[in-house]
């Protein structure tokens, strides 16, 4: 693909996300009514049990798990609502009182969830992120003082974008584009947002941001003004969950393009996601049905995106969480050999002396039913014939809501996205060396399970380099055959001579970790962290190799 595309909409004031933000007060009113209507449809027998459950759960949250970002009146607010519920139970006009209470709670949640988008803040963020990504992907030393930050063109070259980019650009004028990426790092949202704007030329996308990220005032100030909607994972009550789902549906109806992470959270294990959050995807189906039922000229397009890193900054903590959760008594947390100060200094040194890049692969776009699309956004069946998807949302000639039917659609869409993640996954040399090394150790220690292997003494773990070369070569040949069958994608760096490719993979693998997942010493392949090696190995574990 070309190095940089012209922007689809040059004036930021004309971006859909900016227009959406300008209408924030009006949208919140619509969201309140939209959520209220949906809840009333579900709770026809009365609101008292729903309100009681919500107030109880929120009272427990503010008592047992308060955050700095919570409203100052949070504790008093829910205490007052609890007392008000008791008073309402003694009145005659209970239904009207419960309705008013429900609307108050919905409005409180809507004000929290809906973000803003301020062009001035966004422009500042782009400048800041350009510097941040230069530091992540360039080494500072070795190029001279004035070149230590790298040029803008060179920075863009570090984001190796491939796939159906022109198709995605063509669809933007025909409906609402939803990017559904893999999720490995906290960098994913800002990185995809940066690349789609600066390199691909698409207007800004909205995305979900955990409310915990707003705990620091300076981060909260800027983040709130960059278009995200806030998600509080502590809140499990049905009113909040319906409010959040209603937001995602209604924002899509309003043609506010989004980045949805269908896995829900970062992959703790390093595996490609294979179990997606159906509730989030269900809101996509819901929005498309709403548009069809109300004759709105808005089609929703799904674009799976696979992000392939040589490193994940938080990999060490992520895999630790995964091993402790899945291993329980089988796994004991490993002790850090370095102090915090020494680890920080080591990281800073690596940050200034090493460089990397990232691959982003855009899968062919699909509609909400899973059909492929032409450049005009028309759905195509298996034979390439144009199909009208409105027929999938009608029964006996009428457009209607059918939860059972739409649950089937949601599962089908999830399966399509999972398949796309596997087929569009770009295998890097670093992925293959990690996979080969860990698989070699699994075969060598076949009597041990995963938890036994990751807890082996690292001074006893080594692989003769010549044996590793042969093992790596066999696996690479299998990958080439799978690529020929379109079962996955392979980075061009894997096409080189075996020895050079292995050295490149080991050099790039987890470059910013204090404990190298792999290194070569005295003609042996060794590791300083088996759990990190396991984490990076998992990227390819979905394939039958």
pLDDT in tens, 227-243: 999 999 999 999 999 99
Q: Measured between alpha carbons, how far is 229 from 233 in angstroms, rounded to an integer?
A: 13
pLDDT at 150: 57
Confidence of residue 344 (pLDDT cuts 50, 70, 90): very low
Mean pLDDT of the region 195-211: 94
Mean pLDDT of the region 495-524: 94
Is the pLDDT at 61 greater than 50? The verdict is yes
CA distances in angstroms from 60 to 98, 113, 240, listed in the order given? 21, 20, 15
Q: Measured between alpha carbons, how far is 28 from 37 in angstroms, rounded to an integer?
A: 14
The two tokens of residue 427 are: 């295998």
Sheet with 386-387, strands from edge to edge, namely 372-373, 379-380, 386-387
Q: Measured between alpha carbons, how far is 532 from 324 in angstroms, rounded to an integer?
A: 14
Q: Measured between alpha carbons, how far is 166 from 113 in angstroms, rounded to an integer?
A: 32
Q: Which residue reads 């010549």 in tokens? A: 466
The percent of residues in the chain predicted with pLDDT above 70, rounded, is 93
Q: For 420-470, what is the HEC assignment?
A: HHHHHCEECHHHHHHHHHHHHHHHHCCCCCHHHHHCCCHHHCEEEHHHHHH
CA distances in angstroms from 108 to 111, 139, 225, 366, listed in the order given? 5, 47, 19, 35
Q: Measured between alpha carbons, how far is 514 from 313 in angstroms, rounded to an integer?
A: 11
The answer to whether 311 and 512 are in contact (CB under 8 A) is: yes
Confidence of residue 354 (pLDDT cuts 50, 70, 90): low
Q: What angle do CA 17, 23, 25 make, to 5 degrees?
A: 130
What letter does residue 403 receive in the DSSP assignment?
Answer: H
pLDDT tens digits, 139-181: 654 444 445 455 677 888 899 999 999 999 999 999 999 999 9
Residues linked to residue 29 through DSSP beta bridges, in sequence order: none
The percent of residues in the chain predicted with pLDDT above 90, rounded, is 78
pLDDT at 351: 46
Q: Where are the alpha helices (DSSP H) in 486-527?
A: 498-508
Q: Measured between alpha carbons, how far is 134 from 127 in angstroms, rounded to an integer?
A: 11
Nearest CA to 317 out of 329, 325, 309 is that of 325
The two tokens of residue 93 are: 């006009």
pLDDT tens digits, 390-422: 999 998 778 888 889 999 999 999 999 999 999
Radius of gyration of the chain (CA): 25
72-81, 85-94, 341-350, 510-519: least confident range: 341-350
Is the pLDDT at 330 greater than 90? The verdict is no
Q: Which pTM does this prediction carry?
A: 0.91
CA 413, 415, 418, 420 torsion-angle sign: negative
The two tokens of residue 76 are: 């008093």
Question: For the chain, what is the mean pLDDT?
Answer: 91
The answer to whether 193 and 204 are in contact (CB under 8 A) is: yes
pLDDT tens digits, 3-31: 789 999 999 999 999 999 999 999 999 99
Query: In this structure, are strands 519-521 and 258-259 parallel, antiparallel, or unpaired?
Result: unpaired
Is the pLDDT at 347 greater than 70? The verdict is no
Q: Measured between alpha carbons, how far is 501 from 489 in angstroms, rounded to an integer?
A: 17
pLDDT at 413: 97
Instruction: Estimate the crossing angle of helix 48-64 against helix 94-113, to 10 degrees.
Output: 40
Instruction: Identify which has the larger pLDDT, 60 or 2.
Output: 60
Nearest CA to 246 out of 209, 207, 284, 214 is that of 284
299: part of which helix (H) or strand (E)?
A: strand 299-309
60-74, 204-218, 501-515: least confident range: 204-218
pLDDT at 1: 53
- The count of residues in the chain is 545
CA distances in angstroms from 254 to 175, 288, 392, listed in the order given? 10, 11, 21
Mean pLDDT of the region 531-543: 95
Mean pLDDT of the region 204-227: 88
- 3-class DSSP assignment, residue 351: helix
Nearest CA to 258 out of 284, 279, 282, 278 is that of 284
CA distances in angstroms from 521 to 92, 215, 378, 528, 531, listed in the order given? 82, 45, 57, 12, 20
Q: Measured between alpha carbons, how far is 503 from 494 in angstroms, rounded to an integer?
A: 11
pLDDT at 140: 56
The two tokens of residue 258 are: 């989004």
């Amino acid at each position: 693909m070309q190095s940089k595309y012209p922007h689809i909409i040059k004036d930021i004031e004309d971006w859909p996300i900016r227009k959406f933000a300008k209408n924030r007060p009006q949208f919140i009113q619509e969201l309140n009514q939209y959520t209220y209507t949906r809840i009333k449809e579900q709770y026809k027998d009365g609101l008292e049990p729903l309100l009681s459950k919500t107030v109880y759960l929120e009272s427990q949250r503010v008592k047992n798990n308060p955050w700095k970002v919570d409203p100052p009146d949070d504790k008093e607010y829910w205490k007052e609502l609890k007392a008000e519920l008791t008073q309402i139970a003694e009145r005659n006009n209970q239904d009207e009182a419960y309705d008013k209470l429900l609307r108050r709670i919905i409005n409180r949640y809507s004000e929290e969830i809906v973000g803003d988008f301020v062009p001035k803040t966004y422009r500042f963020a782009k400048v800041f992120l350009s510097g941040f990504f230069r530091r992540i992907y360039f080494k500072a030393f070795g190029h001279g003082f004035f070149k230590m930050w790298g040029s803008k063109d060179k920075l863009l070259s570090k984001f190796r974008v491939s796939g159906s980019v022109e198709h995605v650009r063509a669809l933007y004028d025909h409906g609402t584009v939803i990017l559904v990426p893999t999720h490995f790092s906290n960098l994913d949202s800002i990185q995809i947002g940066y690349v789609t704007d600066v390199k691909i030329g698409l207007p800004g996308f909205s995305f979900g941001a955990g409310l915990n990220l707003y705990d620091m005032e300076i981060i909260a100030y800027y983040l709130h003004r960059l278009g995200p909607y806030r998600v509080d994972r502590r809140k499990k009550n049905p009113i909040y969950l319906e409010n959040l789902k209603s937001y995602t549906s209604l924002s899509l109806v309003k043609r506010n393009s989004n980045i949805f992470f269908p896995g829900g959270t970062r992959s703790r294990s390093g595996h490609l996601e294979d179990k997606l959050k159906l509730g989030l995807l269900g809101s996509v189906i819901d929005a498309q049905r709403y548009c069809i039922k109300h004759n709105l000229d808005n089609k929703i397009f799904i674009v799976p995106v696979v992000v392939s890193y040589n490193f994940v900054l938080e990999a060490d903590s992520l895999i630790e969480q995964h091993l402790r959760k899945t291993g329980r008594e089988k796994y004991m947390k490993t002790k850090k050999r370095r102090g915090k100060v020494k680890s920080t200094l080591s990281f800073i040194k690596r940050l200034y002396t090493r460089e990397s890049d990232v691959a982003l692969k855009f899968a062919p776009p699909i509609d909400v039913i899973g059909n492929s699309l032409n450049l005009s956004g028309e759905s195509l069946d298996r034979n390439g014939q144009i199909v009208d998807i409105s027929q999938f949302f009608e029964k006996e000639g009428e457009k209607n809501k059918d939860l059972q039917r739409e649950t089937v659609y949601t599962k089908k869409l999830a399966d399509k996205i999972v398949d796309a993640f596997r087929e569009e996954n770009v295998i890097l040399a670093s992925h293959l060396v990690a996979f080969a090394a860990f698989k070699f150790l699994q075969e060598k220690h076949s009597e041990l399970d995963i938890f036994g292997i990751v807890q082996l003494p690292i001074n006893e773990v080594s692989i003769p380099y010549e044996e590793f070369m042969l093992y790596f070569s066999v696996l690479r040949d299998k990958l080439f055959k799978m690529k020929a069958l379109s079962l996955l994608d392979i980075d061009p760096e894997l096409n080189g001579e075996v020895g050079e490719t292995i050295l490149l993979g080991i050099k790039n693998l987890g470059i910013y970790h204090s404990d190298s997942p792999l290194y070569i010493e005295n003609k042996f392949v060794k590791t300083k962290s088996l759990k990190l090696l396991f984490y990076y190995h998992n990227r390819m574990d979905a394939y039958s190799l």
